[in-house]
Amino acid sequence: MENTQETLLNCEQLKDSQVKRQGGLDVFRIISMLMVVVHHVILHGGLLWTRVGSFNFYIVAFLETLCIIAVNCFALTSGFLNADKKIKIKNILNLYLQVLFFSVALGVGYLIFSKEKISLGAILKICLPIASNQYWYFSSYFLLFLFMPLLNIILNKADKKFLFVVIVFAVLFFGIYGFLGSYKFADAFSLKYGYSTIWLAILYVLGGVIKKLNIFLKLKSYVWGILFVVSTLLSFVVLVVMQKLKGNGVSFISSYCFLFNILSSCFLLTFFARVKIKPSKFLSVIAQCAFGVYLLHDNNYVRSAFITGKFAFLSDKSSLVLLLGVLGSAIAIFVIGTIVEFIRRLVFKLIRINKLTELIDNVLVKLYNKITIKEETIE
């Protein structure tokens, strides 16, 4: 009886830990998207290469060092959350319809209010967001999604020692060689500084291994936090040293494949997976709206109209004004994007888009099952 009670208690503690972990991951997704926005304000806003060598330049460079890991964070999270789940077609359908909504709505709005002549090419571009690569991350993620079931089979059936070797090899090999391949030699693995499906797949596997081996439970949350800070500072040191030596320090840390960028993103994931944050409906909703923030502000038309070159003037301001301007603008963009995405979700719920994707999912699953049964009968 005591053993049964102890088992039940352990199960309850595990369940409670998993629930609190979800709260931490919600915060992680929110912070990661804020990092994406800060990165885009700096990069597209015209701040990154302004007043090179000045104190303000190094403030911007440090923010870039801190936020450049955001894409890695999202890809790692995909592996962490999906490695032990059944991949459902409706999930990618919902994402595609979300992307299509923003692409068409923003594209049509631009064509109506701008003086640009409406052409067939422009219409096709906004109606085919993947083919036109409107959002590089989603285009790469869409292809990755097709291979997720295979990657999950490998992650779930592989030996734990093998998985450990995989994570060490991936971090060291791709972190060092991928960096050199991007800047010194031919990009043999087509990593494209991390802007590729191959890189997202590598990070997906890394996130899955972190989950399968419970690596995030090996250390206390504050230790993971310290490791993240140390890794970020080392990355910034590399930037400063290379800036002094060759004048291109930012280039040396701007690749998503850079070793310290990989380590920092892994440490940040493990920190938020380990830390206990009580989940809430508010955090969950904000986290679910994060992708919509990206789709709104990084749309080609929105970016060119409201972000590209619009923040360069901050480099001539005081350091405090620069810092507050970048962070304040990023928060404002995040809030506006969240509101727009929340409204979009309500509209989709009202017209039952989820029911449509579930219906398509069920039809495709039944079709697959029929084909499988026929093949078994023939054998």
Domain encompassing residue 45 = 2-353
In a domain, 202, yes or no: yes
What is the number of structural domains in the chain?
A: 1
In a domain, 233, yes or no: yes
In a domain, 69, yes or no: yes
In this predicted model, what pLDDT tens digit does every residue of 208-219 receive, in sequence order?
Answer: 999 999 999 999
In a domain, 374, yes or no: no
- For residues 122 and 152, is the Cβ–Cβ distance under 8 A? no
DSSP class of 240:
H
In a domain, 371, yes or no: no
Model pLDDT, residue 178 = 59
Backbone φ, ψ for residue 236 (5° rounding): -65, -35
In a domain, 378, yes or no: no
Token pair in block for residue 131 = 């083919």
Model pLDDT, residue 377 = 56
Threshold 0.85, pTM exceeds: yes
In this predicted model, what pLDDT tens digit does every residue of 135-144 receive, in sequence order?
Answer: 999 999 999 9
Model pLDDT, residue 273 = 95
Q: Decide if pLDDT at 60 tops 80.
A: yes
In a domain, 241, yes or no: yes
In a domain, 66, yes or no: yes
Model pLDDT, residue 299 = 94
Distance, in Å, from the CA atom of 260 to the CA atom of 313, rounded to the nearest integer, reads 30
Give mean pLDDT, residues 86-92: 89
If one compares 169 and 308, the residue with the highest pLDDT of the two is 308
In this predicted model, what pLDDT tens digit does every residue of 9-32 receive, in sequence order?
Answer: 344 443 444 555 688 999 999 999
If one compares 194 and 62, the residue with the highest pLDDT of the two is 62
